[in-house]
Structure 1
């Protein structure tokens, strides 16, 4: 990584509720920060990350919140 530019590397896959689909990725930036990037379908409920992250890393990306994202069909009910 070039220290003059902000760059990120994917460090984990976010796995959907079907336990097999990759719905997003966790990136570690050269600044040390972590961030979530979603696939083209946007935020979805997550069941786990592979490889597993440390408890501190999970807190940084609010993994608990990622496991509570409403189902898409429930969003339509709110319209």
Structure 2
């Protein structure tokens, strides 16, 4: 199965989409509504990308209990 990646502070979603296009299942956490909207707009252009967008503060977000293979935060 695809590896699962958690991206904290996903920004505009470019990294999440790039990872998804490489075959990863990505959970992108972003708290800024305008950036979340931008990620969703990009995802419409990349319909095959497996990205779940979560609008939340990554310090307080409830995440799936079955875990991730990698966690990333790009600053």
Compute the TM-score of the two structures, normalised by the length of structure 1.
Answer: 0.28
User: Highest CA radius of gyration, 1 or 2?
Assistant: 1
Q: Which has more strand, going by share of residues?
A: 1
